[in-house]
Amino acid sequence: MNDNIPAPIEERLRKIADGMTVLVPSAIDEAILSRARERFAEIRRRRAKVQCLWWASAAAVLVTMGFVASAFLNAPSYERADIDRNGRVDILDAFALARRIQQGNASGLDFNNDGVVDRADVDAVAARAVKLKKGSA
């Protein structure tokens, strides 16, 4: 069976529904809509607060990142052979390397690139320490 109804009956159903229209006094509209306005004002206030917090968090993250970057960029750089990190390569670095080799704490300090860290590396640092810079008398 086709579940459609003839137009006159559909029309009558519409009339029945239309006949049930209730006139809504404007005081009722206003009562509902004033509650709605309060609610949406509250929603906007809450959103603004969340947005404020979001911007504050974003600013805090940026400031932190700035500090970290600045600390990283301003960190002093040392030459690899400056074992004691005093800003220059001198004979004390050769002694420091010798001491670390003795203590077994010299991994990665293969200055002559022969695959082992040993006395030859101490010599290489010492040679570097006594090497004259270009242009020096």
Q: In whole angstroms, how close is the CB of 59 to other proteins at the nearest point?
A: 23
Please identify which residue in 12, 80, 85, 131 interacts with other proteins, judged by CB under 8 A: 12
9 is a site residue for other proteins (CB under 8 A): yes
Task: Judge contact between 82 and 93, C-beta under 8 A.
Answer: yes
Task: Judge contact between 106 and 117, C-beta under 8 A.
Answer: yes
Q: Please provide the DSSP assignment of 24-47 as one string.
A: PPHHHHHHHHHHHHHHHHHHHHHH
Residue 13 is given by DSSP the state H
- Hey, which residues between 79 and 108 contact other proteins (CB under 8 A)? none
32 is a site residue for other proteins (CB under 8 A): yes
Interacting residues toward other proteins by CB under 8 A: 1, 3-6, 8-10, 12-14, 16-22, 24-37, 39-41, 43-44, 47
